[in-house]
Structure 1
Amino acid sequence: MAMPTHQPTEDQRHIVEVLVAGGTPKTIIAKALGIGMKTLQRHYADELETGLELANAKVVRRLFRLIEQGSTPATIFWLKTRAGWKEGQTVEIEQKTEQQAYDFSKLSDLERADLRVKLETVVGRRH
Structure 2
Amino acid sequence: MARKNFEPTTEERKKVYQLTASGFTVEDVAKTIYRYGKPISDKTVRKYFRKELETARIESVGAVAARLFKKAIDGDTSAMIFYLKTRGGWKETAINEIKAEVTQTPEKIDLSGLSFDELEQLEKLLDKGNSKANTN
TM-score normalised to structure 1 length: 0.58
| Amino acid in structure 1 at the alignment position of 2:56 | G
Identity of aligned residues (%): 31
Partner of 1:22: 22
Matched, 1:42 2:47: yes
Deviations 1:54-94 (A, max 9, x none): 2211111111111111111211221233333227x423235
Matched, 1:6 2:12: no
Distance in structure 2 (CA, Å) of the matches to 1:4 and 1:98: 83
Distance in structure 2 (CA, Å) of the matches to 1:55 and 1:27: 19
| Amino acid in structure 2 at the alignment position of 1:6 | E
| Amino acid in structure 2 at the alignment position of 1:28 | D
Distance in structure 2 (CA, Å) of the matches to 1:91 and 1:30: 51
| Amino acid in structure 2 at the alignment position of 1:12 | E
Q: 87, 90, 95: which is aligned to 1:84?
A: 90
| Amino acid in structure 2 at the alignment position of 1:26 | V
More helix by share: 1
| Amino acid in structure 2 at the alignment position of 1:44 | F
The alignment partner of 2:23 has SS state of coil
**Distance verdict in 2 for CA 1:86–1:12, change over 3 Å:** farther
Q: How much does 1:4 deviate? A: 6.5
TM-score normalised to structure 2 length: 0.55
State which drifts further: 15-24 or 64-73: 15-24
Q: Which runs of 5+ in 2 are unaligned?
A: 105-118, 124-136
Partner of 1:108: none
Q: Which runs of 5+ in 1 are unaligned?
A: 100-123
Query: Over alpha carbons, which structure has the higher Rg?
Result: 1
**Distance verdict in 2 for CA 1:3–1:31, change over 3 Å:** farther
Deviations 1:39-60 (A, max 9, x none): 4222211222333222211111
Partner of 2:127: none
Distance in structure 2 (CA, Å) of the matches to 1:12 and 1:62: 28
Aligned length: 105
Question: 1 or 2 for the larger relative contact order (CA 8 Å, sep ≥6)?
Answer: 1
